[in-house]
Every structure is written in structure tokens, then in C-alpha cells.
Structure 1
Amino acid sequence: MANITKIEHGQPGWDTPLNQMLSELGQATVDTGWIDLTLVNGFKNYDTIGKTSIRRIGNIALMRVSITSLTQLTKVATLPTDFYPKQSFPLSLRGTIGRAFSMTLGNDGNLSFESPEDGQFNANDYVGGVITWMVG
């Protein structure tokens, strides 16, 4: 996040704090664009809703999840290190027929599928959604 420095009218060297603030603002808005994640352990993208992918804008990370070929308690993908969250957190995403599915994003960058809330699912069910968190 950019630090704001007051610049007084007629202040000598006014361009130094201005250039610093513009540099920090630029770093806060750097955009990686969408990067497709490599799915592992037999998980596949659910093509109807898109590909599982990730993006970072400054310190904000976004991930689109679109998976099928589900296997309980299994790693789905590992994020690039620049996207790791500071701490692990659980996720609840919608899937087949509006059902809620549980996943975890670890501070080691591993995205894991756990199960739907009732524990019952078919391998060809799907999970989809968008997740946002802070990095760095």
C-alpha cells in the first residue's frame, strides 16, 4: 500500500516524495493476469464453468475454482509461491445442484478438496467459485 506524504506548496525537492508515492502505487496495482493452475491427483477442470486459475493484483490474490473428478481428502493443486496465504483457511464453495463443498487453502500453497457437508458425492460432481485473500 502506498504511503501518502504531504507535499507543501513550494517545498524544495517536492518531486522526490511524489515519485516515491507513484512508485508504491504502481507496485500496489501490478497485475499478473490469469494463470492456469496445474491440477494433480486426477482432478480435472469442469469445462462448463472454466479453468481453475489464479491472479494477483498488488497484494490481493484471486482464484477461480472449477474442478471435477473429485477425490476426498486430496490435494487439487499447488499455487505459485507468490500467491501463498499468510495462514491456512477453510473454504466452502458451491457445486453440483447448489450443494456446499469444503476445501482448504494451506499456507504452503496447497489447495485440497475435503468433501461436501453431507459427506456424499460422486466423482463426476463439480465444485466452482471464486476466492479472494491477501498475500505478502
Structure 2
Amino acid sequence: MKQRLNFFAIGGPVLKALYTLGNVAGKAIDQKLLHLIYIRVSQLNGCGFCLDMHTKDLREMGETEQRMLLLGAWREAKVYTNREKAALAWAEALTNLAPDGVSDEVYNTATEHFTPEELVHLSSAVITINGYNRLNVAFRTPAGDYQPGQYA
């Protein structure tokens, strides 16, 4: 598919706002966990650009291929901690909002592993990656050329 427009070149204020929101989350939540969340949400949203970016950045941080490849089946995989699984469940629930919102089960599990402040930061990270995903998907940002740390 042909790219519709390069929002990275023209979206200054929007990108700055998304970056600021994501940066706040990044100061409160472990970077590897954030990238796992970014990858999972990007899988759900079909955002190739973000998948390319976050898998490359996470690999640079020393993450294993196995943990990245198993994200689509994280519930069954033994390679994730309970905290990571709680974060992934929270991210999925916020990305695919059910008619009744986030279930009590997902919320209660999240609060067992995250402080209220961390949960707010985790939520802002999910909001941020969903925003980037929607821009990339809408404007057909091509995937494959990202270099690790390119937008650091």
C-alpha cells in the first residue's frame, strides 16, 4: 500500500503531545515492559510501523526473540511474569474496550501488581501507543526501515 502522507514531517504539535504523554509513562514503568505493551497493542491494531520500531528497540535492550514472538499467546506462555501478564491484560482491555469497560477481574489483577500511580502511567502508555497506531494505520506509514533509537 502506498503511504498517504508522512505525518512525522507535518504533525509537529500532535507528535509533541503524544511524545510528552509517552515520556511521562516511560519514567514510571520499566522500559522493557513498556515495549512489550507497545508490541502487543500494535499487534492488536495491525500497526506494522510500530511493530518494526518496538521489536527493534526491545531487541537492542537485550530482550529475547522468544518473548517477543510469544506476545500473541502471552496468556499461555511461561516466559512472562505475573506483573507482565497483568500489564498485558490491562493494555488489551484498554485497547479493545468492551461495552461494559474494563472488567473487574482485569482491574483487580492490575491493582495487585501496580500502584495506583503506576496504573495511571501504564494507562497513559497504552493511550499513547494506540494514538501512534491509529495515525500510522490511517496514513499507511510503511514498516521496515526503522533504525533502533531513531526517534529517541
With normalisation by structure 1, the TM-score equals: 0.25
Higher helix share: 2
Larger radius of gyration: 1
With normalisation by structure 2, the TM-score equals: 0.24
